Amino acid sequence: MNRKRVGYAFLLALMLVAPAVVYPVLVMKILCFALFACAFNLLIGYTGLLSFGHAIFLGTAGYVAGHSIKVWGFPPELGLIFAALAAAALGWVIGSLAIRRSGIYFAMITLALAQMMYFFFLQAPFTGGEDGLQDVPRGKLLGVVDLADDYNLYYFVLAIFVFAFWLIHRTIHSPFGQVLKAIRENEARAISLGYDVAKYKLLAFVLSAGLAGLAGATKTLVFRFATLTDAHWHTSGEVVLMTLLGGMGTVFGPVVGAATIITLQNELADKVGSLVTVIMGAIFVVCVLAFRRGIVGELGALYKRMTGTR
């Protein structure tokens, strides 16, 4: 238990000094996608629900944050909270409809509803269509800290990530999380023990959507614009890849997966151009065929084997 604490403290220290070595905007982008993947993992890894339209929460919150900060003049902290709540509300609507079905039908309903929202954003005047919502000011945090400075913003983003990660960790290790795992393991049995599984699934969906929204809103602040790409189903697919690659149902898997994918995309984009998609596809195939538990899952299993705890 203590070793875990030391591990977390070490990672946090590493993140605190990271911008001295790595370009802070890249790390911020990784943190945004890591948070997005963690939120997604709460559903697929701990509740057993595959949402195939999760990008819509990322995208919606991005627009809401952008619009509220740029047009309505919200301060950044308020814009983020407002955007996360908007994503949670959308999650409630989409979730209420989708949880009536399970398995592939659930995935298809989330995809269909997400596509409807995507076309709304494509047409709606306030989103700027394919140009995106540009020139969103970063503003001043609580009216004091100037976020236009990348380093200031970095520590703000890191704080958001740590808070959200803690919240997800707590949710997984809470009485509610226990029921979620029970639903994932054996839904019929959970019902027969008297749990209204639909309500638990819906709360998990809303939490996941809200946190995915927080990731999207933060991303808007980092890049100063909200884009249609974030709401596109490609992004929904990408988050599945990140989560599977890192390790579905592990606490750190999505973080590792997101960091790997984003870094690769970043490194490869100038060198191989559109071949990136092919490389991502190949990684996905190798991951599914060779190490199904993902990077963190396989490492965890290896550690268990080496320490001999069966």
Partner 1 sequence: MAEDCILETRNLVKEFKGFIAVNDVSLKVRRGHIHALIGPNGAGKTTVFNLLTKFLAPTRGHIQFNGQDITPERPAQIARRGIVRSFQISAVFPHLTVLENVRIALQRKLGISFHFWRSDKTLNALDGRAMELLAQVGLESFAGMVTVELPYGRKRALEIATTLALEPELMLLDEPTQGMGHEDVGLVKDLIKKVSANRTVLMVEHNMGVVADISDTITVLARGAVLAEGPYAEVSKNPAVVEAYMGTTQA
CB of 242 to partner 1, least distance (A): 23
Q: Which is nearer to partner 1, 134 or 178 (CB)?
A: 178
* Cβ distance to partner 1 smaller for residue 186 or 277: 186
Calculate ∠ Cα 244-52-175, nearest 5°.
70
> Among residue numbers 139 through 168, which ones bind partner 1 (CB under 8 A)?
167
Q: Is 203 near partner 1 (CB under 8 A)?
A: yes
Binding residue for partner 1 (CB under 8 A) from 45, 48, 66, 177? 177
Window of 194-202, 212-220, 233-241, 289-297 that interacts with partner 1 by CB under 8 A: 194-202
Q: Which is nearer to partner 1, 191 or 275 (CB)?
A: 191
173 is an interface residue for partner 1 by CB under 8 A: yes
| Only segment of 82-90, 105-113, 186-194, 285-293 that touches partner 1 (CB under 8 A) | 186-194
Least spacing, CB of residue 21 vs partner 1, in Å: 35
Alpha helix locations (H) across the chain?
2-21, 24-44, 55-70, 76-98, 104-123, 150-172, 175-185, 187-192, 197-223, 233-246, 253-272, 275-290, 294-307
Pick between residue 177 and residue 213 the one whose CB is nearest to partner 1: 177
202 vs 299, beta carbon nearer partner 1: 202
Q: Is 188 in the site for partner 1 (CB under 8 A)?
A: yes
* 3-state class (DSSP) for residue 23: coil
Residue 194 found at the interface with partner 1 (CB under 8 A): yes
- Apex CA 106: angle with CA 293 and CA 61, to 5°? 85
Burial class (CB in 10 A: 0-12, 13-18, 19+), 294: buried
Interacting span for partner 1 (CB under 8 A) from 3-11, 20-28, 188-196, 293-301: 188-196
Residue 190 found at the interface with partner 1 (CB under 8 A): yes
In Å, what is the CA distance from 55 to each residue of 77, 153, 210, 211? 22, 24, 12, 12
179 scored as a contact of partner 1 (CB under 8 A): yes
The window from 63-71, 103-111, 154-162, 199-207 that contacts partner 1 (CB under 8 A) reads: 199-207
Nearest to 43 by CA among 165, 189, 177, 161: 177
Residues in the chain: 310
Minimum Å gap between C-beta 179 and partner 1 is 5
Work out whether 234 is an interface residue with partner 1 (CB under 8 A): no
Rounded to 5°, the CA angle 13-19-21 comes to 95
Which one, 234 or 292, has the nearer CB to partner 1?
292
**Nearby residues of 78 by Cβ (< 8 Å), 6 or more positions away:** 68
In the complex with partner 1, the residue whose CB is nearer, 27 or 190, is 190
Question: Which H or E run includes 140?
Answer: strand 140-141
Cα-Cα-Cα-Cα torsion 63, 33, 8, 138, nearest 10 degrees, comes to -40
Minimal distance in Å, beta carbon 46 to partner 1? 11
* Nearest-angstrom CA–CA distance, 16 and 161: 12
Name the minimum Å distance from CB 106 to partner 1: 19
Residues lying near partner 1 in the complex (CB under 8 A) are found at 167, 170-171, 173-179, 181-182, 185-186, 188-197, 199-200, 203, 207
